[in-house]
Amino acid sequence: MAGPACAGKEGINLRVSVATGVFNVVSDLYILILPLPAVRKLKLSPRRKLGVYLIFSTGGLACIASILTLAFRSKNYGTADITVDSVPTMIFKYVQPQTHNLKCANRTAVPSN
């Protein structure tokens, strides 16, 4: 078993996990906001521009998954049974990359003409 310096409430695992979660939230928000000014400058009809915004807004799902993962990561460490208590964290850790796959798949949904 890992000692308190590694897996305890003040252990390195908690610090690294929370730092990773914060980085994921910040990078997902940045990636969500990054294309918005470019989309605004596109010469498209308002209806098509709205469609492009909606496709990029699927990135909001990744942001939600990142925030929930960070919340569960912070809550779980220092608990009596990390195996059971980390199930929600693991679920959102696997949901988050799938939301990125959804974004990539939706970008092909707008016709080129």
Any domain includes 14: yes
Q: Would you say residue 113 lies in a domain? A: no
DSSP state of 65: H
Q: Give per-residue pLDDT as tens, 63-105.
A: 888 888 888 877 776 666 666 777 777 777 777 777 666 666 6
| Residue 8 in this model has a pLDDT that exceeds 70 | no
Dig out the tokens for 65 from the structure.
């998954």
75 lies in some domain: yes
| pLDDT at site 1 | 46
Domain count, the chain: 1
The answer to whether residue 111 sits within a structural domain is no
Q: Which long-range CB contacts under 8 A does 14-21 form with residues at least 24 apart?
A: 14/74, 14/77, 14/78, 17/73, 17/77, 18/70, 18/73, 18/74, 20/73, 21/66, 21/69, 21/70, 21/73, 21/74
Mind listing the pLDDT tens digit for each residue in 12-24? Answer: 777 787 888 899 8
Mean pLDDT score, 48-74: 84
Is 10 within the bounds of a domain?
A: yes
Q: State the pLDDT at residue 23.
A: 92
